[in-house]
Amino acid sequence: MAGETTNINIRMDKALKEQAESLLSELGMNMTTAFNVFLRQAVRQGKIPFEISLNQPNNEAERKRQAQKEFGELVMSIQADSLSNGTDKMTMDDIDAIISAEA
């Protein structure tokens, strides 16, 4: 599945980037892997793979828990897709390996 790769530049708030990198590190991945997981799910589902709403978590800990929950749901969805395609349940290492092979 390896194909030609391209670079994408994204502008974002520095504090947001640092918070995201910290969270993603705790989840065992980097920003590139997270964006690839997000985009793969968006393409598979034909939509943004999570709910977007005006309901804002009240504090940083709640925002972090919500982000972890949503990311966990996204990973479980990828794993469910792999099962429906006749493969064993994928681990984060499996997902990383697929993304790295395509990079």
Handedness of CA 34, 4, 77, 75 (dihedral sign): negative
pTM across the whole model:
0.52
User: Phi/psi zone of residue 3: left (φ > 0), alpha (ψ -120 to 50 degrees), beta?
Assistant: beta
Q: Other C-beta atoms within 10 Å of 95: how many?
A: 19
Specify the range with the lowest mean pLDDT, choosing from 3-17, 24-38, 52-66, 79-93: 79-93
User: Phi/psi zone of residue 51: left (φ > 0), alpha (ψ -120 to 50 degrees), beta?
Assistant: beta
Q: What is the residue whose two structure tokens read 């989840």?
A: 27
pLDDT in tens, 19-70: 989 988 888 889 998 998 899 999 999 999 888 777 666 677 777 888 888 8
Q: What is the residue whose two structure tokens read 């968006």?
A: 42
